[in-house]
Amino acid sequence: MSETQMPTARTRVVREADRGVYDRETVHRILDEGFLCHAGFVVNGQPFVIPTSYGRKDASLYIHGSAASRMLRQMKEGISVCITVTLLDGLVLARSVFNHSMNYRSVVILGKATLVDDPKEKLAALRILSEHILPGRWDDARQPNERELKQTSVLRVPIEEFSAKVRVGPPIDDEEDYSLPTWAGVVPLEMVAGKPIDDARLLPGIESPEYSRHYTRKR
């Protein structure tokens, strides 16, 4: 059974409250389908929002980047962050412009990002990141060397204070607008991978692996 968590004052969905979802299973499912998040934080009163890749293991979210980046320099001190992930599923076209919407699934996580110091956990986290984006690639490529590991920082964000927001279904028009001779409905959207493109310097006989030929984010 999925664990349902009571929202905090900071994570309770206020606008369109009926779309709020607070069970961990739904949040994990959204996180596992996406791989790009936006990390928000404040430095000396100036807010920043940085797009970055991520990976999840259990109730921890891992993000990484250059050890010299502003985001990583600030976050490694245990700075408060807001992590958001959004999956767009469709354009909802109503009969009136005012009632146009989108079908989507989104997650907001609030917490403190802390630096992963332990070398084994750091390497394991990088594997989680890689496998989250493209399962099978980690074992197929060269592993990070000592110099590369020193140049990379990995941060852990606990998935403890969170909420999801989900919108599904057709457009909702004002009753008087249903008589308008205007098309209404949903334009579905999904991420579709194209055919892999070989690098020009591939060794002879190397073919694209199955995980790249059949890549998908649907889980």
Cα–Cα distance measured from residue 36 to residue 126, given in angstroms and rounded to the nearest whole number: 15
147 against 68, higher pLDDT = 147
Cα–Cα distance measured from residue 136 to residue 22, given in angstroms and rounded to the nearest whole number: 31
Range scoring the smallest mean pLDDT among 52-56, 71-75, 86-90, 116-120: 71-75
- What does the block give as tokens for 149? 């590991």
Neighbours of 90 (CB within 10 A): 19
Q: Quick check: 199 pLDDT over 50?
A: yes
pLDDT, one tens digit per residue, over 112-130 is 998 898 889 999 999 999 9
Q: What pLDDT score does 8 carry?
A: 83
Q: Quick check: 67 pLDDT over 80?
A: no
Question: Where does the pLDDT of residue 1 fall: very low under 50, low under 70, confident under 90, or very high at 90 and above?
Answer: very low
Q: What pLDDT score does 74 carry?
A: 63
Average pLDDT over residues 53-78: 79
Q: What pLDDT score does 65 carry?
A: 76
Are the C-beta atoms of residues 41 and 71 closer than 8 Å to each other? yes
Q: What pLDDT score does 169 carry?
A: 96
From 105, 102, 97, select the one nearest 187 (Cα to Cα): 102
Mean pLDDT of the chain: 90
Pairing of strands 161-167, 101-115: antiparallel
14 against 125, higher pLDDT = 125
Q: Quick check: 55 pLDDT over 80?
A: yes
Q: Quick check: 39 pLDDT over 90?
A: yes
Q: Quick check: 73 pLDDT over 80?
A: no
Considering the segment(s) 17-173+191-213 as one domain, its CATH architecture is Roll (2.30)
Domain boundaries defined on the chain: 17-173+191-213
